[in-house]
Amino acid sequence: MSILTWSPTDLRTALDGTAPLVVPDDDGYEDARRVEPGGIEHRPAAIVRPTDTAGVVRALRFAREAGAEVAVRSGGHSVFGLGTRDGVLGLDLRGLDSLDLDVSGRTATAGGGVTAGAYTRAAGAHGLATPFGDTGGVGIGGITLGGGVGLLSRARGMTIDNLLGAEIVTADGEVLQVDDEEHPDLFWAVRGGGGNFGVATRLRFALGEISDVVGGTLLAPATPASVAGIVAAADAAPRELTVILMVMTAPPMPMIPAEWHGRLVLMANLCWSGTTSGADAALAPLRDVVTAAGGALVDGVRTGPYAGLFEGGPPSGTAVATGRTFFADGLDESAAAHLLAELESCDAMMRAAQLRVLGGAVADVAPEATAYAHRGARLLGNVAAVAPTASAAAGYTPWVEALADRLRGGREGVYANFALDGGPDTARAAYPGTTWDRLAAVKRAYDPDNVFRGNVNVLPA
């Protein structure tokens, strides 16, 4: 907002002590506005940091009455910074960090600011898990509302397939408990429709039993045959195996042989959640591909607790990324060769393509059952380039768009959680056909004034 039409002082009065408020003159403002990874320099006019639902309610009622634009940060990182913008009233949910585990009932209720890593470690102590992504630093609110694709997706479905219910605060400050029976239209929409409909202050998930998994990282030379071969082997594998593949230039890390620094490699992050006795047979086709490429440069595959795979977050620092997400039906050697040639020729300080093999339990759910409509896609990809500044990163946007278009192979669609922006073209691609129509109707019912527009935005019908 170029001209602020509301006063942070009035906001403080409206909160009446129900939630801490940070404004630009406060000592803690710089820390409060910072998101990971670095380089995102948005400056909200005020940041509310509620510790319970009441604080969220008061903040939203003020925003509606004052005409304040709202941006919601759901606890964790934001690669492209959609959870904050200049001049907005920011809602930072990191204080909503309660986690209640019903071990015997196999359910968990978590605050909207809990991170996936904290949740996974706590549940893992009881031999239980809910599928989230692959990074501990992501907030469960954001990843859940957008879908949730990660290391257990092929075996146990997306995060939204394990969501049993949620507490949603709507734009007018009403608190709703939603599930299959209460407000089922809204429950359908928040399973993939993003933050378009309200603030998720609590989420209730199913917990599944999980013993030790076989997982970790395989690093190998990247060739057209090895990249396409890993994708094909992962696609053909039993559903208990999920593979997330990164194709990139090798960073100068001590674990990587020095002679490979700066050269093209593939990094397969994998998780086998079946019986440990079946792991060798399941992983054999992937290891065969790696052997044919010259052997593993790093072999970090180990047997251990699932929570051990769920560490860390995005890299720190001030670099800025630009990227494009896409779906595809596979990746052949021709497409892999094109990918490697483009990565070799690009001069960005870091450039990479991530390829997540889908299928399995993801595809078991009907496309119309949730607001995530891309159940039939075999591959979810993301092309990214990293530069020192936002302006420099923007210069690589045509490159990432062209490469993503080549790799998608004619399949339409984008994944909302990896979207660079929330504009109309992105939103239509994320929510195609009747999914868009249905979401627009729910938006009209629960947020007719489009208060929640700092997202992959669905306009009210």
The pLDDT, as a whole number, for residue 2 is: 45
**Kind and range of the H or E run holding 185:** helix 184-190
**Kind and range of the H or E run holding 116:** helix 116-124
The pLDDT, as a whole number, for residue 76 is: 62
**What is the distance between the alpha carbons of residues 85 and 42, in angstroms, rounded to a whole number?**
5
Q: Which CATH class is domain 213-418?
A: alpha beta
Q: Which CATH class is domain 9-95?
A: alpha beta
Per residue in 185-227, pLDDT tens? 999 999 999 999 999 999 999 999 999 999 999 999 999 999 9
Q: Which CATH class is domain 99-209+434-446?
A: alpha beta
**What is the distance between the alpha carbons of residues 90 and 74, in angstroms, rounded to a whole number?**
11
The pLDDT, as a whole number, for residue 319 is: 79
Alpha carbon of 24 to those of 42, 45, 48, 88, 314: distances in Å?
A: 12, 7, 12, 12, 26
**What is the distance between the alpha carbons of residues 230 and 243, in angstroms, rounded to a whole number?**
9
Please tell me what DSSP assigns to residue 322.
E
**What is the distance between the alpha carbons of residues 92 and 415, in angstroms, rounded to a whole number?**
23
**What is the distance between the alpha carbons of residues 57 and 217, in angstroms, rounded to a whole number?**
43
Listed residue (106, 4, 14) closest to 55, CA to CA:
14
3-class DSSP state of 291: helix
The pLDDT, as a whole number, for residue 347 is: 95
Please tell me what DSSP assigns to residue 280.
H
The pLDDT, as a whole number, for residue 407 is: 98
Query: Which stretches of the chain drop beneath a pLDDT of 50?
Result: 1-2
Per residue in 114-126, pLDDT tens? 999 999 999 999 9
Listed residue (69, 70, 23) closest to 47, CA to CA:
23
The pLDDT, as a whole number, for residue 1 is: 39
Domain boundaries, the chain: 9-95, 99-209+434-446, 213-418
